[in-house]
Each structure stands twice: as C-alpha cells, then as structure tokens.
Amino acid sequence: MLNVRFLEPADEAMWDAYVDAAPDGTLFHKTAWKRIVAKTFDYTPYYLLAENEKGICGVLPLFFVKSIFIGKALISTPFAVYGGMLASNISVELALFEASKKLSIKLGAQFIELRERSFKKRQELQTRDSLYVTFQKKIEHSEDAIFKQLPRETRRLIRRANDAGMTARFSKNMEDLDSFYDIYAASVRNLGTPVFPRELFENCLRELEQHADILLISRAGNPVAAVLTFYFRDVVLPYYGGSLPAERNPSPNNYMYWMLMREAGMRGYNFFDFGRSKAQTGAYNFKRKMGFQPSSLFYQYYMSGDLPLPNNNPTNPKFKMAIKAWQHLPLKVTKVLGPKLVKAFP
C-alpha cells in the first residue's frame, strides 16, 4: 500500500532521516531549508511524502510562490541549487508527481519547477538543460595535496594574497554577520543583483547550527571577502559569498576558497561543491580557473496548458537595462530595495 500525504511536524525527523540516506539527497531537501525559507519569505510550504508499511519511501519538497514576474508556481525548492523528488522506486516517484499535479491545479499554479540533479525522462516534463551548471570535485585531506590540485595560476594568486597579509577566520557568531552582509551586499550590487534580506542569513545560521559557518578574509584587519558555507554529509558547499569590489587585488576570492578547501579537507570532507552558475558568466569562468569542471543541471517543468517555459533570470534580455541601473544605485538604497525585490525571483 502506498499513501501520499503532506508532511506534519511529527514526521520531520523521519523525513530528514530519509533524505540523509537517499543517494541524491541534499541539504535543500531537509526540513531545515523549509524553515529557513518559510521564516524569511511569504511562501507557503507543501511538503509531500510517500509512505508504505515500512515508513517513508519518497519525498517532494514544494513551495507555493506568487510573483508579478513568474505568476503562481510550485517550486522545489526556492533559492536552492538542488531540489525535486527523492523516491525509492519509479512507482513512488510517479505517485509524488501525480500528487504535485493535483496540488498545482488546486492552487492555480501555472507551472511546477523541479530543480533536479539528474535528468528524469517523463513525457509531461519539459527540460531546461543549457542555462545552469554545477561544479563539484573531490578534495584531498592534506594541505599540500589540496594545494597541488589547484591550477598553477590560481596557486600564484593565492601566494600573492598571502604575501599581501590576508588572513582567514571561521565563525558561527551572529556578531560577524554584519561584516559578511556588508561585503555580500556590495558584491551582488556590483553584479546587478538584488541582495537577500539579512534575516535569511540569520535563519541559515540558526537552523543549520553546526552545518553552517562564515569565513571572513581580512587585510590589514579589515574584512574584504566573506562566504557563508553549508556542510552536508561529506560535502562542503560555499553558498553565499563575495568580496568588496574595491579590494579585488590581490585576489581575495582565490585566497578565500583555497582556505575553505584546506579547512574542509582537513576536517575530513570529501567533496567541494562550488554550486550553481549560469554558463559562460564571470562566476562560471572563475570556477573553471579554480580547476573545476561544469556539469549540467536538468531543471524540469510541468507547464499548465501551452504556456512557455519561464525565463526569469539575468540572462533574459528584458532585464538588461534593469541590471545596469541597479549597478549604479547607492549601496544603502540596494540594501533597502533588494530584499523587497529578491523574493520575486525564487
């Protein structure tokens, strides 16, 4: 017997245990990410679980999102690199998919977006496989071995940053969130992207506890780069990071990610996941130069009727002028407006 229903508070420990054991499970499938998103944004979670006589045998985390840019949608999962269904077999997967379709009809959603890590062949799903890529590679457990993994030019830039007196410090303290947020806000403004609310990062540190920290890079005692990193199983995932635009020389980003790789490897983590980038962008090229190779992400969509696939990302030409204008706004203004706008692009 197979039953599909919504997650209840009493199920959360079992849900997380299932995600932890699933080969394709990620941090973004866990209930901590549900709490982070729900506390920060006005999205409604609809977490579907499948169960049989042995317990949970499949999960599908979904959020109902309403935006003037995307309309109404069910997304698995917002502000996450990965998402989609985890299922013990194809029958469970189909049952979760059918339940999500019924939910989308009930809510009037125009589409369901599944941020899958691997391609699922299903006639009803349309796939966008040329926009986003992810970067992941194995890391060694000694400083020398990790350093040797890096390309020669990257090693030169790291030595140069070290000679310039850059230092690194890991922290889990809320007191260091201000320094991180100032750097991150300046960095994304420079890219033409709205900044997230500070509350998002507070919730990440609170909900993930030992599975998240901040790495601050300083020069002459002043923070110049920072990254908020997640840890899941044997994977380290630097997720929100950047450097002050005026401090890009000598190479604080290269130094920061080297220090993170070194620390993660020495802690025993086996894989460094550099996260999602749009193909052929600056972030994409930086990760390539750090010695990582891209792998396609297969985001899949169930569209209501004959609607076209959504295209609400910075590569869309219709956002070109808005991005340029945003890059020239005062930083204080972007810190006020950014959190109001960013929730429209989950």
d(CA 11, CA 287): 38
Q: How many separate helices (H) and strands (E) can be counted in the chain?
A: 11, 17
Contact 193, 326 (CB under 8 A): yes
Residue partners of 73: CB distance under 8 A and separation at least 6: 64, 65, 67, 109, 110, 111, 112, 113, 310
What's the confidence (pLDDT) of residue 25? 95
What's the confidence (pLDDT) of residue 147? 95
Residues 256-303 pLDDT 10s: 999 999 999 999 999 999 988 888 788 889 999 999 999 888 889 999
Q: Which domains does the chain have, with CATH numbers?
A: 3-129+297-310 (3.40.630.30), 134-296 (3.40.630.30)
What's the confidence (pLDDT) of residue 321? 80
Which tokens hold the place of 68? 């003037």
Question: Model pTM?
Answer: 0.93
What's the confidence (pLDDT) of residue 68? 84
Region 112-133 average pLDDT: 82
pLDDT at 324 over 80: yes
d(CA 238, CA 227): 6
Name the pairing type of β-strands 44-45 and 63-67: antiparallel
315 pLDDT band (50/70/90 cuts)?
Answer: low
Q: One-letter amino acid identity for 223?
A: P
**For residue 5, what are the CA distances in angstroms to 48, 60, 103, 232?**
6, 10, 11, 26
pLDDT at 120 over 80: no
Residues 195-253 pLDDT 10s: 999 999 999 999 999 999 999 999 999 999 999 999 999 999 999 999 998 777 788 99
